[in-house]
Structure 1
Amino acid sequence: MTILNEACTARLDTASAGISTELRRGSLGVGLIVLLVISAASPLSVVAGGFPIGIMLGNGAGTPALVVVALLLLLAFASGYTAMAGEVTNAGGFYALIARGLGGYAGGAAAMVAVVGYNCLQFALYGMFGAVTSGSLAAEFGIHAPWWACSFTAMASIAVFGYRRIDLSAKVLALFVIAEYVAVLVLDIAILRHGGDSGISLDSFKPSVVSSGNPFIGLLFCFAAFIGFEATTIYGEEAKDPHRSIPLATYVSVLVIGSFYAVTLWCMVVGAGADKVADTIRAQIDPTMFLYTLSDRYVGGGLTLVLRGLFIVSVYAGLLAFHNSTARYFYAMGRERLLPGRLGHTHPSHQSPHVASVLQSVLCCAVVLCFALGGADPLMTLFGWLSNVATLCILLLMVLTSASVWRYYRRQRHAHCGPLRTLVLPLLSGTGLAAVLLLAVRNFDVLTGASHKTSYTLVGLLPLAVAAGLYAAHRLRLADPRRFACLGQVDRG
Structure 2
Amino acid sequence: MDSPTPSMPRLPDDATGLRSGTLSSWFITLLVISAASPLSVVAGGFPIGMMLGNGAGTPALVVLALLLLLMFAAGYTAMGTCVTSAGGFYAMISRGVGGAAGGAAAFIAILGSLTLQFGLYGLLGEVVSESLRTQFDLSVPWWLVAVAAIASVAYFGFHQIDFSAKILACFVVAEYAFVLLLDVLILRRGGAHGIEFSSFQPAALSAGNPSIGILFCFAAFIGFEATTIYSEEAKDPKRSIPIATYSALILVGCFYSFSLWCLVIGTGAERVQETITGLSDPTNFLYLLSDTYAGQPLTLLLRGMFIVSIYAGLIAFHNSTARYFYSMGRERLLPRRLGCTHPQYKSPHVASLLQTVLCLVVVLLFAVFKADPVLHLFSWLSNIATVCLLLLMIATAAAVIVFFRRDAHSYSTFRIFWMPLAAMVGLCFVFALAVPNFQVLTGASQALSWALLALLPCAGFAGWAAALRLKSIDPVAYATLGHDRK
TM-score range, shorter chain: over 0.9
Name 1:251's counterpart in structure 2. Answer: 246
Name 1:49's counterpart in structure 2. Answer: 44
1:123-162 to 2 correspondences below 5 Å: 123-162=118-157
- How far off is 1:141 after superposition? 1.1
- How far off is 1:453 after superposition? 0.2
Tell me if 1:267 matches 2:276: no
- How far off is 1:243 after superposition? 0.7
Name 1:460's counterpart in structure 2. Answer: 454
Name 1:37's counterpart in structure 2. Answer: 32
- How far off is 1:19 after superposition? 5.5
**Which residue among 57, 78, 85 is the counterpart of 2:80?**
85
Name 2:485's counterpart in structure 1. Answer: 492
- How far off is 1:143 after superposition? 1.0
Tell me if 1:478 matches 2:465: no
- How far off is 1:172 after superposition? 0.4
The CA distance in 2 between the partners of 1:486 and 1:210, in whole Å, is 46
The CA distance in 2 between the partners of 1:345 and 1:63, in whole Å, is 44
2:2–2:406 CA contact under 8 A, matched in 1: no
Tell me if 1:357 matches 2:348: no
Instruction: String of CA shifts for 1:31-86, please: whole Å, max 9, x gaps.
Output: 11000000000000000000000000000100000000000000000000000000
- How far off is 1:396 after superposition? 0.5
Q: Secondary structure at the match of 2:484?
A: coil
* One-letter identity of the residue aligned with 2:239: R
**Which residue among 265, 278, 281 is the counterpart of 2:276?**
281
1:91-490 to 2 correspondences below 5 Å: 91-412=86-407, 414-488=408-482, 490=483
Q: Secondary structure at the match of 2:15?
A: coil
Structure 2: gaps spanning 5 or more residues: none
The CA distance in 1 between the partners of 2:12 and 2:351, in whole Å, is 19
- How far off is 1:3 after superposition? 6.7
Instruction: String of CA shifts for 1:185-206, please: whole Å, max 9, x gaps.
Output: 0000000000000000001011
**Which residue among 59, 63, 66 is the counterpart of 1:68?**
63
Q: Structure 2 length normalisation: TM-score?
A: 0.99
The CA distance in 2 between the partners of 1:345 and 1:431, in whole Å, is 39
Name 1:25's counterpart in structure 2. Answer: 20
The CA distance in 2 between the partners of 1:34 and 1:415, in whole Å, is 25
* One-letter identity of the residue aligned with 2:18: L
Instruction: String of CA shifts for 1:322-378, please: whole Å, max 9, x gaps.
Output: 000111000000000000000000000000000000001000000000000010000
The CA distance in 2 between the partners of 1:329 and 1:374, in whole Å, is 30
- How far off is 1:249 after superposition? 0.4
Greater alpha carbon shift after TM alignment, 351-360 vs 17-26: 17-26
* One-letter identity of the residue aligned with 2:378: F
The CA distance in 2 between the partners of 1:181 and 1:18, in whole Å, is 40
The CA distance in 1 between the partners of 2:372 and 2:211, in whole Å, is 27
Instruction: String of CA shifts for 1:406-447, please: whole Å, max 9, x gaps.
Output: 1111222x4321001000000010111011112101100000
The CA distance in 2 between the partners of 1:111 and 1:63, in whole Å, is 32
2:29–2:247 CA contact under 8 A, matched in 1: yes
Name 1:4's counterpart in structure 2. Answer: 4
Structure 1 outlier segments of 4+, above 6 Å: none
The CA distance in 2 between the partners of 1:402 and 1:440, in whole Å, is 18
* One-letter identity of the residue aligned with 1:492: R
Go from structure 1 to structure 2 and tell me whether the alpha carbon gap of 1:22 and 1:429 turns closer, same or farther (over 3 Å shift): same
- How far off is 1:118 after superposition? 0.2
* One-letter identity of the residue aligned with 1:460: A
2:49–2:216 CA contact under 8 A, matched in 1: yes
Q: Secondary structure at the match of 1:288?
A: helix
- How far off is 1:2 after superposition? 7.1
* One-letter identity of the residue aligned with 1:4: P
Go from structure 1 to structure 2 and tell me whether the alpha carbon gap of 1:320 and 1:18 turns closer, same or farther (over 3 Å shift): closer
* One-letter identity of the residue aligned with 2:56: A
* One-letter identity of the residue aligned with 1:445: Q
* One-letter identity of the residue aligned with 2:4: L
- How far off is 1:137 after superposition? 0.9
- How far off is 1:214 after superposition? 0.4
RMSD of equivalent CA atoms:
1.1
Structure 1: gaps spanning 5 or more residues: none
The CA distance in 2 between the partners of 1:18 and 1:318, in whole Å, is 30
* Count of paired positions: 486
Give % identity. Answer: 60
2:175–2:305 CA contact under 8 A, matched in 1: yes
The CA distance in 2 between the partners of 1:285 and 1:258, in whole Å, is 28
